């Protein structure tokens, strides 16, 4: 049982469009190569084949799973790789029919035969499964990975007779004792009541068992700066999204319209221009939507985003935090850090008690969780107490229960991009409701909603779990091969 999930587990910097179908496979490929690097056996590899199963196979082309795996095998880091060179690197592999493993050793590689989408096959542990069949001399070794949502991956080594599933590349430390361990809302609230600390303060004290306070602050600032850069870039970029659906970007036009053609030279001038527009309800609503659209249009374009808690839901938390900064004057470094820490605590509750994988739980596990995270964080920022924060999270998720994942063409575009605007607005509404309510009188707790969400996930038809086999995906049939 996971007992501590770091804020830097919930918020990971990577490349779009999907944390489970892009970032996870990318990290799996990196981890696989690291296993051979540690044994100094990279140069002994003569052949490698990748098998994608279940949801990874059904929507992998639209999500860029093939691209991600190849980038990982090349040894490219999703945090720092030059995203403008991704397509060039993939084309080079196709052209030369070879791949340079970990940037060190070239082997023959034919994408058509060595990267297989097994759409009719799945592995039992999780719908998002992939295997690397690595040949060294006369022996072939199988490494099995599961991308369990939010960029988290698990690993099963076939050489291990026990076939244990191991969580890898994460800040979850089973050996470290943290001061305020929590797995449920009740446990989190216990520590808040006992110490008098806010949710963000509880999270910060836990983080300080791993990192210094300065490092925690610097990392949180970097997370927000990456989110902000994504919003700003998305608002300045025009055109059509890749993938074949011919979806036009909307944040660019909306940004120009809302600014009434006013000029700006940098990020601060841009934010100042937004503030000058006033506080009309429709004006604020349009900006919140614009922020969310900008992030997820960047995500759909293989841009650099932050899992929050996933790539598909990456626009909700940045949009709500921008709302808090511009329209609620909550814009100090401490405000931003506290928002992210409170949000991460709620995300950890859902990951521990249910899932943040759409392939396991539908879109309630992505947009629903991100909305709950943002609602709790905004409530704390606006002066709500700990119970009101958790009530806000409960309200937000309660009204996302049963939300399906049905991406058209297997792409993170329709309905995914617009859903981020809905999740952001619901988070703000949930925070407002919680601030005007008495949580002690509430009949539904956050723990009950998390349990309900998990039960709903178990009951939900597989075709509504990121397979493109149901919902809008079959009403607007687009051949995956074209995407």
Region 198-210 average pLDDT: 97
d(C-alpha 313, C-alpha 423), whole Å: 8
Residue 264's Cβ-side half-sphere holds a number of Cα atoms within 13 Å equal to 20
pLDDT band with cut points at 50, 70 and 90 for residue 61: confident
| C-beta separation of 3 from 174 below 8 A | yes
pLDDT at 156: 83
pLDDT of residue 478: 66
* Contacts of 432 by beta carbon, 8 Å cutoff, 6+ apart: none
* Cβ within 8 Å of residue 108, ≥6 positions away: 47, 97, 98
What does each C-alpha distance from 210 to 206, 219, 333, 344 come to in angstroms? 8, 13, 21, 16
Find out if CATH 3.10.450.40 is the number for domain 17-168: no
Tell which residue, 101, 128, 93, has the closest CA to residue 40.
101
- In this prediction, residue 311 carries a pLDDT of 96
- The rounded distance, in Å, linking the Cα atoms of 303 and 132 is 26
Q: What is the torsional sign of CA 374, 379, 385, 388?
A: negative
Alpha helix locations (H) across 332-415?
A: 333-353, 358-361, 367-381, 386-398
97-155: pLDDT as tens digits: 999 999 999 999 999 999 999 999 999 889 999 999 999 989 999 999 999 999 999 99
Residue 238 CA to its chain's centroid (Å): 24
Asked if residues 473 and 406 have their Cβ atoms less than 8 Å apart, the reply is: yes
Show the tokens assigned to 462: 């597989």
384 three-class SS: coil
Q: What is the pLDDT of residues 275-318, one digit of tens each?
A: 999 999 999 999 999 999 999 999 999 999 999 999 999 999 99
Domain extents for the chain?
Answer: 17-168, 185-482
């Amino acid at each position: 049982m996971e007992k501590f999930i770091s804020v830097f587990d919930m918020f990971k910097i990577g490349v779009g469009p999907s944390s489970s179908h892009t970032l996870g496979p990318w990290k799996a490929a990196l981890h696989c190569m690291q296993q051979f690097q540690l044994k100094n056996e990279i140069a002994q590899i003569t052949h490698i084949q990748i098998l994608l199963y279940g949801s990874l196979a059904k929507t992998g082309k639209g999500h860029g799973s093939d691209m991600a795996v190849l980038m990982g095998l090349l040894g490219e880091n999703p945090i720092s790789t030059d995203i403008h060179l991704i397509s060039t690197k993939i084309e080079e592999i196709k052209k030369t029919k070879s791949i340079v493993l970990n940037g060190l050793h070239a082997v023959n590689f034919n994408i058509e035969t060595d990267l297989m989408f097994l759409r009719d096959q799945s592995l039992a542990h999780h719908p998002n499964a992939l295997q690397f069949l690595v040949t060294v001399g006369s022996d072939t070794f199988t490494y099995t990975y599961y991308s369990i949502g939010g960029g988290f991956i698990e690993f099963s080594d076939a050489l291990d007779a026990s076939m244990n599933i191991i969580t890898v590349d994460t800040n979850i430390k089973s050996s470290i004792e943290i001061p305020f361990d929590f797995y449920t809302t009740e446990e989190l609230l216990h520590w808040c009541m006992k110490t008098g600390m806010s949710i963000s303060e509880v999270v910060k004290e836990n983080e300080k068992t791993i990192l210094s306070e300065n490092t925690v602050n610097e990392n949180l600032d970097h997370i927000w700066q990456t989110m902000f850069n994504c919003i700003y870039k998305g608002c300045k970029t025009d055109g059509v999204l890749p993938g074949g659906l011919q979806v036009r970007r909307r944040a660019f036009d909306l940004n120009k319209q809302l600014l009434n053609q006013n000029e700006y030279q940098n990020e601060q001038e841009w934010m100042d221009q937004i503030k000058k527009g006033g506080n009309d309800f429709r004006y604020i609503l349009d900006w919140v939507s614009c922020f969310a659209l900008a992030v997820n249009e960047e995500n759909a374009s293989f841009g650099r985003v932050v899992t929050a808690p996933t790539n598909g839901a990456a626009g909700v938390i940045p949009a709500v935090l921008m709302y808090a900064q511009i329209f609620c004057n909550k814009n100090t470094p401490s405000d931003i850090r506290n928002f992210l820490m409170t949000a991460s605590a709620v995300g950890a509750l859902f990951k521990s008690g249910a899932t943040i994988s759409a392939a396991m739980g539908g879109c309630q596990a992505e947009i629903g969780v991100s909305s709950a995270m943002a609602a709790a964080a905004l409530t704390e920022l606006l002066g709500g107490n700990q119970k009101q924060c958790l009530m806000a999270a409960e309200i937000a998720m309660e009204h996302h229960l049963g939300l399906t994942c049905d991406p058209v063409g297997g792409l993170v575009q329709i309905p995914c991009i617009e859903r981020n605007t809905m999740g952001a607005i619901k988070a703000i509404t949930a925070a407002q409701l919680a601030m005007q309510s008495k949580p002690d009188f509430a009949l539904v707790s956050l723990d009950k909603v998390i349990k309900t969400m998990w039960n709903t996930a178990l009951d939900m038809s597989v075709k509504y779990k990121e397979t493109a086999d149901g919902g809008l995906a079959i009403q607007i049939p687009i051949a995956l091969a074209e995407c």
